[in-house]
Structures are given as C-alpha cells and as structure tokens.
Amino acid sequence: MLRHPDPPLSDGVITLRAKTRHDVDTLTLLCADPAIPRWTRVPSPYTREDALSWIAVCELELAAGRAIDWLVVDEHDDVLASVAVQSIDGATAEIGYWVAGHARGRGVATRAVRLASEWALRELELDVLEIIAHEDNPASQGVARAAGYTESGEKHVPADAGIPEGRYVVHTLRAA
C-alpha cells in the first residue's frame, strides 16, 4: 500500500500534499478552467460531485498501489496545481499534472514534477517514468524537458481514450 510522505514533499517554495474533502470547492472552481480538461481527463463541466469522486478514486488508487496524487500548494496552502504518479505497473509509471490558471508560467509544474519524480524513483524504486503530452501542448512538453525528461517517442491516442485525440509525445526519465 502506498502512503503520502510524512512530512509532505517540499522544495521550500511548493509543497505536495494529499487532497481532502476540504479541497472540494477549490477543485471545483479550478477545474472549471477550460484549459485543464482540454489536455487531461478532467471532465467538463466540472462539478462538486466530480471533485468528491476524484478524491475517492485517488484514495482507492493509493490503497491499491496504482497511483499517488497530490495537490501542489504554496506557503499559504493555496492550491496551485495537481501532480500524480499514476498507472504504476511494475517498475514504470506515468506522471500527470495540471496547473491552475493563476499559477501558470511560474515554474510550478516543473517544481512539482521534479519532486514527484525524484520521490517515485527513490521510494517506489521505479526504473522509468513517462510524461505523455499532446503535440499541440508545448507548455506541457516544456515542463517535461525542464524536469529532466527526454523525448523518447510518440503514441497515437484514439478518440475514445477520454483525452484529446491525436499524436502524443512521450518523454522519459530513467533511474540513474
């Protein structure tokens, strides 16, 4: 069973913490931003029920050892982003993230991806992490590169996958 690190992961600027029911209203507001569902599996429109469901699913995935999700917060506990180590399968996993509109362009995603990636490679003893970003999402591809990932291929995602159809660039980080 996976557990959230105690103390929470932090680089002194951001902290990765578990989401709770107290975050429902904030998540509902932030995920209403059309840029978030455009590149992720976040539904649109996004409701309180979606937020409650997401928190419940995250708890189940954590207990099953398949994923660990965090909210990225600042020193005032304001939510800036979300980051996850997901689709854990043996020695590989995927990093997924979104950034709130008010926090974009400030390096939040890069910091969060670095913290989550370093922790996953060290604590979960993973060999390979992947970030899969749509070809039309240069910001996400830039985060992958800035966090130390290298482009390693591409994949095509069909329309029924729950994310935008198209070509996705795969970025990989391997354990040292």
Question: Which pLDDT does position 156 carry in this prediction?
Answer: 76
Question: Which pLDDT does position 164 carry in this prediction?
Answer: 76
Question: Which pLDDT does position 114 carry in this prediction?
Answer: 98
Question: Which pLDDT does position 36 carry in this prediction?
Answer: 94
Contact 139, 104 (CB under 8 A): yes
Sheet holding 9-10, edge to edge: 9-10, 15-17, 68-73, 79-89, 92-99, 128-134, 166-174, 150-157
Question: Which pLDDT does position 176 carry in this prediction?
Answer: 84
**HEC per residue, the chain:** CCCCCCCCEECCCCEEECCCHHHHHHHHHHCCCCHHHHHCCCCCCCCHHHHHHHHHHHHHHHHHCCCEEEEEECCCCCEEEEEEEEEEECCEEEEEEEECHHHCCCCHHHHHHHHHHHHHHHHCCCCEEEEEEECCCHHHHHHHHHCCCEEEEEEEECHHHCCCCEEEEEEEEECC
Question: Which pLDDT does position 122 carry in this prediction?
Answer: 96
Write phi, then psi, for 83 (nearest 5 degrees).
Answer: -145, 145
Residue 30 identity (one-letter amino acid) = L
May I ask the CATH class of domain 9-174?
alpha beta
Show pLDDT as tens, one digit a residue, over the chain (176 residues).
789 999 999 999 999 999 999 999 999 999 999 999 988 889 999 999 999 999 999 999 999 999 999 999 999 999 999 999 999 999 999 999 999 999 999 999 999 999 999 999 999 999 999 999 999 999 999 999 999 999 998 887 777 767 777 788 899 999 98
The structure's pTM equals 0.94
Question: Which pLDDT does position 155 carry in this prediction?
Answer: 82
Cα-based torsion angle of the residue sequence 8, 14, 73, 19 in order, rounded to the nearest 10 degrees: -30
Question: Which pLDDT does position 157 carry in this prediction?
Answer: 74
Question: Which pLDDT does position 131 carry in this prediction?
Answer: 96
